[in-house]
Structure 1
Amino acid sequence: MDIQVQRFAVTNLRRRPVVVETGGFVAGFTPDTDNPYLNYATPLPGAEPNEQEVAALIGIFRERGLLPRLEFAPQAAPAVAPALRAGGFGIEAVHEYLVCTPHTLMLPQSSGSPRVESPTTDEEFAELDAVLAEAFGGAFTPSAQGAARLRRTQQSGGAVRFVRDSQGGIVGGASCSPPAEGTAELSSVGTRSAYRGRGIAAAVTAALTEAMFAQGAGSVWLEYSGEGSRRVYERAGYRPQGTRLYLSLPPAQQP
C-alpha cells in the first residue's frame, strides 16, 4: 500500500496550480497562500536523491519565500529521508495512515445518524470552510480562497460533505480528493467542539468513502490526529496500513 499511497501523493501534487519537478521530487504550490500544508513536495517512488538534487529542491522553495517541506510514505522511497536529513531537514511528524476498502466499509446503521449533505452554494462552501478552520484550532483561517478550494475539490471529481444542526447551521464536514492510482485521500474531517461526540465525523467519513467507491476507487486512506479520531475511523472500516513522514528545513538550517 505504501507504493500506491506514494504514487497517489505524486499525482495529487501534480494537480496543484503550480508544479515544479526536479531530481526525483514533485513540488506542488498554491499561489494564494503560504500555508506549508498547501505548499510542499513529495518524492517519486524509489527516488534516490543526491546532495545537489536536495539543494535544488530547497532552492525551489526559497525562491518563493516558502518553507522547504515534504510529505511522503518513507517505505516507498527509503533513500529519501536519509538524504534530506543529511541536508539539514528535521522531522515534523510521523503519522500512521488508515485504509478502507469496499469490503471493510461499515455504514452507520442507526436511523438517528446525522443527515449528510453536499454543498452547492457559495454560502455553504464558505460556512464549511469557517467550520473546518474552527475545528482545527486556527491551523488556517477561513477565507474566500479556502471556500474556493473546497468547491474545486468537488468539481474536479472529489467530494465534500457536511452536517447541519437543528437550526440549519453547518457544524461539521470533510472533503475527499478525486481518486488517482486506484485510491483517494480523505482529509479535513472536522466538527465544531460543541457538537463532537454526536456521530458527525463518522457520518461524513462513511458518506465520503462510499462516494469514492461509487466512483471506482479501490480504497480510501486518511491520517488521524489522535486516538479518539482513530476509533471513529476504525468504526467506519478503516485499518492501519503504514506511515507517512513529514520533514521540513528549519530556518536556521537554510543556506
Structure 2
Amino acid sequence: MDLRIQRSVVSNLRNRPKALEIGPFVAGLDPDTDSPFINYASPIPGAPITAADVDALVDAFIGAGRKPRLEYVTSCVPELEDLLLAAGFTIEARHQYLICTPQTVAAQPVPEGLILVEPTTDPDRAALTAAANEAFGEAPEASEADIARVRRNQERGGVVLAAFTPTGECAGAGQAMPPSDRLSEVGGIGVRPPFRRRGLAAAITAGVTQGIFDLGVEFAWLEASGDDSWRVYERVGYVPAGHRLYISKG
C-alpha cells in the first residue's frame, strides 16, 4: 500500500499546471501562490537519489521563488531523510495516513439544516474555498486561482462537496483528488467554527469518500491532523496504514 500511495502522490504532482521533473523528484509548483502546502516535491519510487540530486531540487525551488519542501511515504525511500537533513532540511511533521475501502466506509448523517452538494458554479466554488480557508485559520476569501484549482480538480475527475445552509451560507467542505492507480487522496476537510461539534466533518468525509468510490476507486486515503479528526475519520471507516514525512528548508 505504501508504494501505491507514493506513486499516486507523484502522479498527482505530474498533473499540476507547472510540474517539474528534477532528477528523481517531481515538483508541483503553482505560479499563483507561494504556499508551501501547495508547492512541494515528492520522490519517484525506485529512483536512486544522491546528495547532488537534493542540491538540484533546492536550486529549482529557490529559482522558482518557492520554499524547498517535500512530502512522501517514508518506507518507499528510507535513505532520503538523512540526505535531506544533511542538506539543511528540517522535519515539519510525521503523520500516519489512514485508508478506507468501499467495504468499510460508513455513511454519516448530515446535520439538520444543511445540505451537501457538489459546486457547479464559480460563486459556489468561491464560497467553498473561503469557508475552507476560514476553517483552517486563514482569511475567509477566495482568489481566482483558488477557484480555478477547485474547478480543475473536478474537471480531472476529483470529487468536491460543500455544505450549505438554506440561505446559501457555506459551512464547510472537502475534496478527493482525481483517481490514480484506483486510489484517491481525500483532503481539505474543513468546517467553519459556528458549525462545528455537529457531525458535519464526518458527513463531509463520508460523502466525499463514497463519491470517489462510486467512480471505481479501491482505496481512499487521508491524514489526520489531531485526535479530534482522527476520531472523525475512524468513525467513517478509515484505519491506520502507513507513515508520511513533511520536511522543508528555510
The 10-residue stretch of structure 1 (157-166 or 122-131) with the greater mean CA deviation from structure 2: 157-166
The 8 Å contact of residues 131 and 140 in structure 2, kept in 1 or not, is answered as: no
Q: Distance in 2 between matches of 1:99 and 1:217?
A: 12
* AA at the equivalent of 2:159: A
Q: Percent identity?
A: 44
Residue 70 of structure 1 pairs with residue 64 of structure 2: no
SS in 1 for 2:102: coil
SS in 2 for 1:220: strand
The 8 Å contact of residues 26 and 42 in structure 1, kept in 2 or not, is answered as: yes
Change (3 A) 1:203 1:82: same
Match of 1:135 in 2: 135
The 8 Å contact of residues 96 and 223 in structure 2, kept in 1 or not, is answered as: yes
Change (3 A) 1:29 1:161: same
Runs of 4+ aligned structure 1 residues displaced above 6 Å come to: none
- Structure 1 unaligned regions, length at least 5: 251-255
TM-score where L is the length of structure 2: 0.95
TM-score where L is the length of structure 1: 0.93
The 8 Å contact of residues 113 and 165 in structure 2, kept in 1 or not, is answered as: no
Q: Deviations over 1:90-130 (max 9, x none)?
A: 10111111110111111126895953111011110001110
Match of 1:253 in 2: none
Residue 184 of structure 1 pairs with residue 184 of structure 2: yes
The 10-residue stretch of structure 1 (226-235 or 111-120) with the greater mean CA deviation from structure 2: 111-120
The 8 Å contact of residues 130 and 139 in structure 2, kept in 1 or not, is answered as: no
Match of 2:199 in 1: 199
SS in 1 for 2:246: strand
SS in 2 for 1:185: strand
Match of 1:162 in 2: 162
The 8 Å contact of residues 26 and 43 in structure 1, kept in 2 or not, is answered as: yes
SS in 1 for 2:148: helix
Q: Distance in 1 between matches of 2:72 and 2:132?
A: 24
Q: Distance in 2 between matches of 1:112 and 1:39?
A: 37
Give, in angstroms, the shift of residue 141 of structure 1: 5.5
Q: Distance in 1 between matches of 2:29 and 2:43?
A: 15
Match of 1:126 in 2: 126
SS in 2 for 1:108: coil
Q: Distance in 2 between matches of 1:140 and 1:170?
A: 11
Q: Distance in 2 between matches of 1:86 and 1:113?
A: 53
Q: Distance in 2 between matches of 1:218 and 1:113?
A: 32
Change (3 A) 1:8 1:102: same
Q: Distance in 2 between matches of 1:113 and 1:130?
A: 20
The 8 Å contact of residues 119 and 161 in structure 1, kept in 2 or not, is answered as: yes
Change (3 A) 1:185 1:62: same
Q: Distance in 1 between matches of 2:38 and 2:128?
A: 18
Give the alignment of 1:1-255 within 5 angstroms. Answer: 1-108=1-108, 114-138=114-138, 142-250=142-250
The 8 Å contact of residues 69 and 246 in structure 1, kept in 2 or not, is answered as: yes
| RMSD between superposed Cα atoms in Å | 1.7
Q: Distance in 2 between matches of 1:218 and 1:120?
A: 26
Q: Distance in 2 between matches of 1:138 and 1:174?
A: 16
The 8 Å contact of residues 110 and 116 in structure 2, kept in 1 or not, is answered as: no
Q: Distance in 1 between matches of 2:26 and 2:226?
A: 29
Give, in angstroms, the shift of residue 190 of structure 1: 0.5
